[in-house]
A and B are shown apart, each in its own frame.
Chain A
Amino acid sequence: MGEMKTNPNDASSTVKSKGKKTKRVYITPKTAPYYFLAPSMLLLVIFTLYPVISSFILSFQSMKGSDKYFIGMANYVRLFKDPVLYKSLSNTFQLLIVQVPIMLSIAIVIAVALNSASLRYKGFFRTVYFLPAITALVAASLVFMIMLDENYGLANYALSLIGVEPISWLSHPFWSKVSIITVMTWRWTGYNMVIFLAGLQTISPDLYEASDIDGAGPIKQFFYITLPQLKPVFIFTVVMSTIGTLQLFDEVYILTGGGPNNVTMTITLYLYETGFKYFDFGYASAIAYVLVVIIAVISWIQMKLVGDSD
């Protein structure tokens, strides 16, 4: 944020010149920024800042009817013993360590392929690969839900052709996770690919030419030039995907509803059910703050990492 400073003389000099030319000046360059900021700041205070604080207070409260009363740390104590919370945390973690690497590896391979000088129809490939990223998560989840139907779904039909027994994609503890991962990967790979592609285009071709002369093959070049050069982009995509996975909701809400037996429960779905199915606002707020803390830690790590790479 180093570029925030502008010339401090600007404001004063323009006020003077303006004062000479026009007489009725209500909004001066000194007061203008407050007018420009007022509407959005007001809305942010009402609809973001107040709720953030209010839900912090709520997380120390319980409700009887519509009466709220303080119960100290009880919600947090309950959190620490809550098996569903641990389950949703571990689910999220499992999805993270499997889905993000798969998705990013595919994305980077496609990006490198699309970036190669000799490839034709680049625009076509890029457009097509990006298409899943414009579909609503609900729409994508619905289509996959039907494809993954346990009895006569397309996926099971394809498997039957090679003699594999039908799989309960959405109700088996293991396969339901695979299904969620499949939808996420279909939806987000192209998105990340385009980010990588943009990153690749900033790498100087001189680096590759020099290593060509040294006799390095494409695979060596990939690991010794491309990947290190992409490090900042890589950190960005990993952090974005991680935060996205932590907030996972639409896919599980449509595909599995968190089941079977909570194996696909996520933090946000748990929060939604606690808050809006059981109307336990205090406890739901405590769950929300778990998410806040985790995301704050990840953002902090990201800042450290990006800071180091500069």
Chain B
Amino acid sequence: MKNKENTTRKINMYVLLLIGVVISLFPFYWMVVGSTLPSGKIFSVPPKLIPGNHLLENAKTLNESLDFARVMWNSLFIAIIYTVISVLLCTMAGYAFAKFQFKGKKFLFFLILCTLMIPFQVTLIPLFEIMVTLDWLNTYQAIILPSIASPFAIFLMRQNMITIPDSMLEAARIDGAGEFKIFFSIIMPTMKPALAAVSIFLFMSQWNNLLWPLITLNSKDMFTLPVALSSLIGMARIDYGQVMLGTTLSVIPILIFFLIFQKNFIAGILGGSVKG
């Protein structure tokens, strides 16, 4: 009796979980199918759920609306440069907070904790004014620089580095290694998992960023993916095939990276609050 109850409960659980799987995956599938259909067919009754053969045409119209390769390059370039510099600077700052005693440390760390709680929206207007003054609208640096010193990344790296034993640093110092050499050749290599998580966090936040690029970029050849995609639906006649294709192309690279580096990815997106 009890056994039978258990099996039905188990089957119910799998069925429910599979429904969840379908809900999670369906939008992805439909997005891919939609990018192979002509705009009108996306809304046909009954809906087309099998890929069509309009992919190349959609690619052509997408490329006419936007220089898509350029948009992709903008997004990649911005996200990669941003991630590399930000990881380096934030790790250095986190290291200073974790492993050194110095005057003003408490105050500076308190400042970091405060900025952690401040919504970035409050900085938008003065930042925009700065960009206008510097004549930086429609530039890469306007997108990259303002958020490069991420209080969150600094905090996270500090938490991760606090466990580095002091004896390790001392041993290196006795061997005559300079402070920067210690940082680059001893600290950085031991921090690989944390660095991977923080990098993914920063990369994703920049790759998906809409609001700030929307404000600073208005020339088409500087658009990042989110801005470009949102511009497609602002057109007089929306071509849904190209919207679906653009969306698919923006999601696929991340999807592949996610499937390869799953553990780091989950830890990264959750901001290191959970180990993947």
Q: Please give the residue numbers on chain A whose beta carbons come within 8 Å of chain B beta carbons, in ascending order.
A: 1, 3-4, 6-8, 10-11, 13-14, 17-18, 21-22, 25, 27-30, 32-37, 39-41, 43-44, 46-52, 54-55, 58, 110, 113-114, 116, 118-119, 125, 127-140, 142-147, 149, 151-154, 157, 186, 190-191, 194-195, 198, 236, 243, 246-247, 249-250, 253-254, 267-268, 271-272, 275-276, 281, 284-285, 288-289, 291-292, 295-296, 299
Chain B, Cβ-Cβ closest to A137: B208
Asked whether A39 and B170 contact (CB < 8 A) given A139-B229, A154-B47, the answer is no
Q: Is the CB of B254 within 8 A of A135?
A: yes
Contact present for B173 and A48 (CB under 8 Å): no
Could you tell me the distance between the alpha carbons of A131 and B108 in the complex, rounded to whole angstroms? 37
Given contacts A147-B27, A275-B124, contact A113 B170 (CB under 8 A): no
Q: Does B236 contact A (CB under 8 A)?
A: no
B122 with A288: CB separation less than 8 A: yes
Given contacts A37-B96, A43-B148, A250-B210, contact A128 B25 (CB under 8 A): yes
Q: A14-B170, A21-B176, A195-B270 are in contact. Are A254 and B230 (CB under 8 A)?
A: yes
B191 at the interface (CB under 8 A from A): no
Residue pair B215, A276 in contact (C-beta under 8 Å): yes
Nearest CB on B from A96, distance (A): 15
Can you name 20 A-B residue pairings with CB atoms under 8 Å? A6-B99, A21-B174, A21-B175, A35-B180, A41-B149, A43-B89, A58-B126, A113-B17, A134-B255, A136-B250, A139-B226, A142-B229, A142-B233, A143-B30, A144-B27, A186-B23, A186-B27, A250-B210, A276-B215, A291-B121
Contact of B20 among A22, A129, A152 (CB under 8 A): A129
B166 touches A7 (CB 8 A): yes
B208 to chain A: which residues have CB within 8 Å? 136-138
Contact yes or no, B124 A39, CB < 8 A: no
CA distance in complex: A43, B117 (Å): 17
Q: Number of residue pairs across A and B with beta carbons under 8 Å?
A: 284
Whether B274 sits at the interface, judged by CB under 8 Å, is: yes
B222 interface hit (Cβ, 8 Å): no
20 further contact pairs, Cβ within 8 A, besides A17-B170, A127-B259? A6-B166, A14-B173, A33-B102, A40-B92, A40-B154, A47-B127, A48-B149, A51-B125, A55-B125, A128-B21, A129-B21, A137-B210, A138-B208, A138-B229, A138-B230, A143-B27, A154-B47, A157-B47, A194-B266, A272-B214
CB <8 Å contact, B125 and A3: no
Across the interface, B124 reaches (CB within 8 A) one of A157, A254, A271, namely A271
Complex alpha-carbon distance, A33 and B180, angstroms: 10
Are A37 and B92 closer than 8 Å at their CB atoms? yes
B68 part of interface (Cβ distance < 8 Å) = no
Q: Does B243 contact A (CB under 8 A)?
A: yes
Interface string of B205-234 (1 = CB under 8 A from A): 001101100110000000001100110010
Contact of A27 among B31, B118, B147, B179 (CB under 8 A): B179
The reply to whether B149 and A139 form a contact with Cβ atoms under 8 Å apart is: no
